[in-house]
């Protein structure tokens, strides 16, 4: 009978220790997950801003250089006027010789000294550590980015050629108030995560007629985030094991052992009382 009681009391002590340990593990896991999510958010934001800052500075420098060397407003407005006068069916022919014929009055002669050729040479100076720096304009009516001058020889957009963009990107660039950095992050099929930044050209009335834009591929964003998650997760697991080990010992010494001592003292008191009653009888 005494062995059964001792076994029951031992099981109660073990059960209390196990429950306490489980609570500690759960608490450490929750705190670890919260720390991981917060850290991941801060790390990802800082990483993206590093790319954006580099690209934005490139676009800003390109804009300043073009403004110093030439006036690209008539050239930009001419292309946009032709583009906006095209029908939706004509715009759908983008990339064909027929579509380019609509902009045949734009001189795209290489080394011809025209506006387009000069812009291409100027912009080509900034294609360093970025995918592309080019001159273009957003059209809010068609949610398109219309190209003016693109130095990328392998995948070049000629004057008047366009690509679809999101409505949010169009609104962000056309309504920029000049504060902070102007950029947009999107995921493309060809390049993966892409950061597009820009700096506007404005006329005397403050109206935007073109943008110096820079694209930079955030090629290692996924890998960097994966590495971060792995490292932080391993650190949290190691810290959780250490904290659980430490807190479990502390709880056992501060809570479990005193409870066991009280239980033993109570049991001893009851046993002594029973013996006293038996002796009296």
* Band of pLDDT at residue 272, cut at 50, 70 and 90: low
Q: Are 222 and 193 in contact (CB under 8 A)?
A: yes
The torsion of the CA quartet 271, 275, 280, 281, rounded to 10 degrees, works out to 100
What are the tens digits of pLDDT across the range 127-175? 766 678 999 999 999 999 999 999 988 889 999 999 999 999 999 999 9
Looking at per-residue pLDDT, the higher value among 10 and 49 belongs to 49
Phi, psi of 149 (to 5 degrees): -145, 125
**What pLDDT does 1 receive?**
44
pLDDT, position 15 = 63
- Span 234-241, average pLDDT: 75
Average pLDDT over residues 167-188: 91
Helices (H) and strands (E) in the chain, counts: 8, 6
Task: With a cut of 80, say whether residue 121 has pLDDT above it.
Answer: yes
pTM above 0.95, yes or no: no
Helices (H), 70-166: 73-84, 88-91, 97-101, 115-124
Please write the tens of the pLDDT for every residue from 27-51.
Answer: 777 877 787 777 777 776 777 778 8
Of residues 145 and 256, more confidence is placed in 145
Q: Is the pLDDT of residue 72 over 80?
A: yes
Token pair belonging to 243: 């904290």
Q: For residues 101 and 106, what is the distance between their CA atoms, to the nearest angstrom?
A: 10
Q: How confident is the model over 234-259, as a mean pLDDT?
A: 71
């Amino acid at each position: 009978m005494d062995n059964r009681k001792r076994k029951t009391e031992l099981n109660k002590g073990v059960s209390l220790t196990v429950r306490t340990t489980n609570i500690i593990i759960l608490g450490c896991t929750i705190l670890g997950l919260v720390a991981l999510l917060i850290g991941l958010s801060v790390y990802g934001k800082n990483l993206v801003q590093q790319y954006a800052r580099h690209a934005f500075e490139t676009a800003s420098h390109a804009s300043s250089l073009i403004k110093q060397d030439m006036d690209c407003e008539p050239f930009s407005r001419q292309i946009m006027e032709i583009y906006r006068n095209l029908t939706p069916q004509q715009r759908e022919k983008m990339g064909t010789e027929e579509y380019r014929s609509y902009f045949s009055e734009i001189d795209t002669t290489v080394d011809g000294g025209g506006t387009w050729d000069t812009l291409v040479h100027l912009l080509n100076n900034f294609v360093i550590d970025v995918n592309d720096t080019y001159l273009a304009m957003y059209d809010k009516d068609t949610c398109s980015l219309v190209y003016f001058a693109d130095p990328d020889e392998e995948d070049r957009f000629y004057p008047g050629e366009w690509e679809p963009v999101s409505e949010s990107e169009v609104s962000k660039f056309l309504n920029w108030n000049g504060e902070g950095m102007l950029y947009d992050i999107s995921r493309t099929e060809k390049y993966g995560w892409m950061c597009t930044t820009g700096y506007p050209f404005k006329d005397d009335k403050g109206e935007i007629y073109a943008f110096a834009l820079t694209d930079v591929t955030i090629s290692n964003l996924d890998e960097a985030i994966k590495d971060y998650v792995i490292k932080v997760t391993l650190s949290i697991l190691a810290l959780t094991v250490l904290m659980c080990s430490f807190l479990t010992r502390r709880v056992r010494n501060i809570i479990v052992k005193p409870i066991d001592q009280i239980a033993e003292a109570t049991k001893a008191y009851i046993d002594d009382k029973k013996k006293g009653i038996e002796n009296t009888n």
